[in-house]
Amino acid sequence: MTQLPAAGAEAAALLETLGCPLAPGGRPSPIDGSAMPLVPDAADVDAAIARAAAAFAEWRSVPAPVRGALVRRFGDALREQREPLGRLVAIETGKPLSEGVGEVQEMIDICEFATGLSRQLYGLTIASERPEHHMREMWHPLGPVAIISAFNFPVAVWAWNAAIALVCGDSVIWKPSEKTPVTAHAVHALFDRVAAECGAPAGLSQLVPGGRDTGAVLAADPRIPLVSATGSVPMGRAVAQAVAARLGRSLLELGGNAATIVAPSADLDLAVRAIAFGAAGTTGQRCTTMRRLIVHESVCDALLARLKRAYASLPIGDPRAPGMLVGPLIDGDAVSAMATALERARAEGGTVTGGEHLYGNYVRPALAEMPGQSDLVREETFAPILYVLRYSDFAEAIALQRDVPQGLSSSILTNDLREAEAFLSATGSDCGIANVNMGTSGAEIGGAFGGEKETGGGRESGSDAWKAYMRRQTQNVNFGRSLPLAQGVEFEV
């Protein structure tokens, strides 16, 4: 096998290629522990917010299709740099290379979506009860939008928010995860170049690397009407409380605990492929990762035998190497959290297959056959652990699927039309995403992405998620010479 360069050194070389060099001294790469380039924390967050507010004052008056043209140009620039940026994502997060490149493709896709959206920010015309009156609804730019992103998708989730916010007329302020600031630095440098070429206002997008304190400043600042935060439930609670205290808006994308129901009629060939990616893809570090497998007792043994063979054959190692499907966890804390969860599973009577710590941040994905639902199964451990539960009737399966605090993604594998439709009904899955005959991961940008309960209730990306980044105004126009009042109220002077 060809010897690969140290991950930190390769990251530095990629930054040189991308025109935004940085010195070493940052966090260790999850791949091999070598030092990543150092992205310094923002020196003055208050000044960055002020620059974003000044840029918004100008940008909101630019016609939306012109704003869309900037986002289109940015998407073109991302397309030109897709491979080096994707490789940088893989190095910094430990994702397999195809997933790193796929994340950059997701940014390109949302830029295309947002460009089209810039000509479709539709309002409504509403019938007025008053003669010679028009009533309509208009959407206006909201203001500077703070985006707090997580390590597992270090750039795509920022793009979901930023591309839409920019065409809506907002400026953006980005606090990347302190675990993955390098790719954010590269992407933001690219955006700054495109914005300057397009003549956009200076400060239209601000990058403010930092830790919890930086996020707290953004959440508390009244100049920021919307804070979009992706991360853990405790982090989301803190952000929501700070933003609500000043009566601002928050858009939250928090924890997940996705379940897949496998019915007696399921295609087991399809099931093995869907489950393997859903549970082990990105080394279990997606908010949509399949963490619970609820299998009918009649097919459970056969499916588990096939899953164990599939898990044993998963290539695990340096994600830059060809054919690797499972890379490292993000850091040693994640490795420890996985080990602790598996110890608890065994203590609760579970049978664990896999889950070994191999070396460094590398682990083998685990299957944990559990005797029933428990506090452990209701919790989200951000690692490749799939808890397997058995069910005997469909109502029991739905009850198990719903019996967790989180509500992001879910799926069912079945060839029974009645079961599929019942799963999608109001009494079926209680998640923001519900899939049939596929896994729980891999959402397309065209649909609104988000979940219910402790997932936070936010919606990002497609559909009408753009409305979160604008303010709604009901407008009434009297084009007559009298002044009739609504509800027949009379007031003559």
E strand residue ranges, 425-490? 433-436, 448-449, 452-453, 460-461, 470-478
Joined together, the tokens standing for residue 141 give 């730019």
Contacts of 390 (CB under 8 A, 6+ apart): 294, 295, 296, 297, 300
What positions carry a catalytic annotation? 253
370 contacts 389 by C-beta, under 8 angstroms: yes
- Closest by CA to 345, choosing from 309, 313, 408, 389, is 389
Q: Rg for the chain (alpha carbons), in Å?
A: 24
Q: What distance lies between CA 306 and its chain's CA centroid?
A: 31
Residue 374, classified by CB atoms within 10 Å of its CB into exposed (0-12), middle (13-18) or buried (19+), is middle
Helix extents (H) in 326-408: 332-347, 375-378, 394-402
Q: What gap in Å lies between CA 26 and CA 9, rounded to an integer?
A: 12
DSSP-derived letter for residue 395 is: H
Q: What is the dihedral of CA 44, 50, 54, 55, to 10 degrees?
A: 50
Q: What gap in Å lies between CA 167 and CA 250, rounded to an integer?
A: 19
Contacts of 352 (CB under 8 A, 6+ apart): 342, 345, 346, 366, 367, 368, 369
Helix extents (H) in 288-347: 300-312, 332-347
230 contacts 149 by C-beta, under 8 angstroms: yes
410 Rama class: left (phi>0) / alpha (psi -120 to 50) / beta: beta
Q: What angle do CA 60, 171, 214 make, to 5 degrees?
A: 150
- Count other Cβ atoms within 10 Å, centred on residue 425: 11
Q: What angle do CA 387, 391, 423 make, to 5 degrees?
A: 90
Q: What angle do CA 31, 34, 36 make, to 5 degrees?
A: 95
| Residue-by-residue DSSP string for 227-272 | EEEES-HHHHHHHHHHHHHTT-EEEEE----EEEEE-TT--HHHHH
